[in-house]
A and B are shown apart, each in its own frame.
Chain A
Amino acid sequence: MAAFMSTQWAQQVKAQANSWPDAERRASKLVDFWDWIDMVKPFVTGRLSLSVRDMPDGAEGDTLCLEFEAGVVTDATVCRRAAAEAGSAFLLAGSYQDWMSMLDGYDVGKMVMYRKLMLEKGDTLAFFTPAFFWTELLAAIQSVPAETFDAVPA
């Protein structure tokens, strides 16, 4: 299993996001919903960074950088937030603990609605226009198994 916030994990996230949804997920929602996702996809271009504010020591980085081209992830890397932020259209950040509960299955809609992830860079209206594209992306990330760090930083 790849470690959370490792290059290998980022590559698995990329593959998962680009093949999302699987048959089971697709069947759980109306065709209309996936049509809507296809409608907004062409407008999703640029970098989304997903960051952990208090990443425990030992990880490759604290931020997952996803480069999008019309809704397709073309590159996925792990780096330091300082390096990722300037070139990002949007940056979402949350605590290590909240990231862990998401990887553990916490509802991705609640991750947004309860601001477990906050938009720390980017225009809010532009971010929400393809809102469900992002919640599906979070669900794809959530479904990639990851080895996590035991030590929750003080």
Chain B
Amino acid sequence: MTMTDDRIDTVEMTDLAGLGHTDIDDVLDYVHVPTAKLPGYLDLYDRYLRQRWNVNDLDFTQDRADWADKMNDDSRNSFLSIASGFHHGERQVEAELAPLFFGIPEDYKVFLTSHLEDEARHTVFFDRFYRDVVGLEGDGIMDVLDGSWGYIQETFVGPFGLLAYLTDDLRRDPYNKHLQMKYATTYMIWIEGVLALSVMKITLNYARDFKVLPAYYTGFTATCRDEARHVQGGMRFVRQLLDEDPSYVTDIHDTLRTLLTMGAARSGYVYYEPLGWSEERVQALFMDQLHKKLAMVGVSLPADLEEMLSMVRPTLAGG
């Protein structure tokens, strides 16, 4: 599906309050542009300056009432098993981004400062949601994170542990382009481009269709628009590395092989049904999102990876 110009304009120009009435599916479509149209890093930075939102402008009063009155134990539990993957995921992508800064192109450095600030704001957004709506308490960000850890799928540590260890590799060797490619594949293609953009849809469609949690809907839709910039910046970087040396595609494939092997594991059931979803639908979204990201950088999957992709169990997380 291609977006009409006026729908693109709406997503592009709307302020925070307006995003509360914008359709999340339009925002998700807004991420995908063909390679030739990938914006420059400074254009993305300019867009950041216009689209930046204040997490403290959100008022969670109505959300707290909806959480208590309009939702039941089943829907609250399903919601938490998905939202907690973002609560932790946003913190991980915030804390693990800095070492990329050293070895990237000059203009990307400018944009990356905004990417880092976005992830910090997304972390605070979930911190506020868990305190003000779910009712967790804690002294700081980590205390509240520890409070929601019990809802996290055990397999979360696959992609996010890999990201943590690749971050450490990059810290030790920041100019290594093979490492940069493995890192970008894990961070921008898989965690942001596939996991986040697929799983975001579940809780946001639920909030939209059941008319609940308006501040969550507004803030998380704004988060999704921020992710569009991160993914487009990341895809531009991947494209640039491939233009320099097409053999870096091996690093993309090797990284996906590890991610997809881990992705075939699951340790517990997630009940999507109270939110109106099924595992098959989420799995189909994963496949679609990965194909779209790879199309943005002009890379295809070898047959063994296509087959592995069809076996992936959804990891309910994102950043």
Residues of A participating in the B interface, judged by any CB pair closer than 8 Å: 29-30, 32-33, 36, 39-40, 107, 109-110, 112-115, 118-119, 124-132, 135
Contact = CB atoms under 8 A, between A and B. Distances in A.
B266 A128 contact: no
B89 to A, nearest CB: 11
A148 B19 CA distance: 55
Given A30-B266, A32-B266, A110-B149, 10 more contacts: A29-B154, A29-B268, A30-B267, A30-B269, A112-B157, A112-B164, A113-B160, A128-B162, A131-B158, A131-B262
Given A30-B268, A36-B265, A125-B182, A113 B164 contact: yes
Nearest to A125: B258
A132 B168 contact: no
A108 to B, nearest CB: 8
Given A112-B157, A125-B254, A33 B164 contact: no
Contact of A128 (B92, B149, B262, B268): B262
Given A29-B154, A112-B161, A129 B266 contact: no
B261 interface: yes
Contacts of B35: none
Nearest to A127: B165
Contacts of A39: 264
B149 A119 contact: no
A33 B265 contact: yes
B157 A131 contact: yes
Size class of the contact patch on chain B: 20 to 34
B106 to A, nearest CB: 27
Contact of A115 (B164, B255, B258, B313): B164
Contacts of A36: 264-266
Interface string B150-190: 00101111101110111011000000000000100000000
Q: Is the interface of A mostly helix, strand, loop or mixed?
A: helix
Closest 10 CB pairs of A and B: A109-B157, A36-B265, A112-B161, A33-B267, A29-B267, A128-B162, A125-B258, A124-B165, A129-B258, A131-B158
Interface in B229-267: 254-255, 257-258, 261-262, 264-267
A114 B164 contact: yes
Contact of B258 (A33, A118, A128): A128
B173 to A, nearest CB: 11
A109 B156 contact: yes
Interface string B249-292: 00000110110011011111100000000000000000000000
A107 B149 contact: yes
A125 B255 contact: yes
Contacts of B165: 112, 115, 118-119, 124, 127-128
